[in-house]
């Protein structure tokens, strides 16, 4: 797909966005796990920022949410073949928001 038929001016389109959340509990604590799977088709260079994803985490005192098992992959067509590139650790940024 090179153009989104419903909006030919679109620079990107979300193809798939699915998530599931569930609670897990031990004698010591209770945790919430969120799993999300998103596929975004970038149609033009202007749409590259649509692949920048933010995950807001709660933090207060010694209590803080964490991210684990993060996987992000880019697929590109090169010389007629699909090339898969995984997100490297230097592509992950953490910053504090007030």
pLDDT in tens, 61-90: 888 888 888 899 999 989 999 999 999 988
- pLDDT for res 29: 80
Q: Above pLDDT 90, what percent of the chain?
A: 56
Q: Average pLDDT, stretch 33-47?
A: 94
Q: Would you call 70 exposed, middle or buried from its count of C-beta atoms within 10 A (0-12, 13-18, 19+)?
A: exposed
- pLDDT for res 63: 83
Q: Average pLDDT, stretch 56-64?
A: 86
Scored b (16 or more CB within 10 A) or e, 43-52 reads: beeeeeebee
Residue-averaged pLDDT of the chain: 91
- pLDDT for res 35: 92
């Amino acid at each position: 797909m090179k153009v989104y038929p419903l909006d030919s001016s679109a620079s990107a389109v979300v193809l798939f966005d699915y998530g599931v959340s569930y609670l897990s509990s031990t004698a010591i604590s209770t945790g919430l796990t969120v799993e999300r799977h998103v596929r975004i088709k970038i149609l033009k260079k202007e749409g590259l920022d649509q692949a920048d994803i933010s995950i807001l985490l709660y933090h207060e005192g010694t209590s803080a949410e964490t991210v684990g098992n993060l996987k992000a992959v880019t697929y590109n067509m090169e010389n007629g073949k699909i090339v898969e590139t995984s997100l490297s650790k230097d592509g992950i940024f953490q910053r504090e928001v007030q």
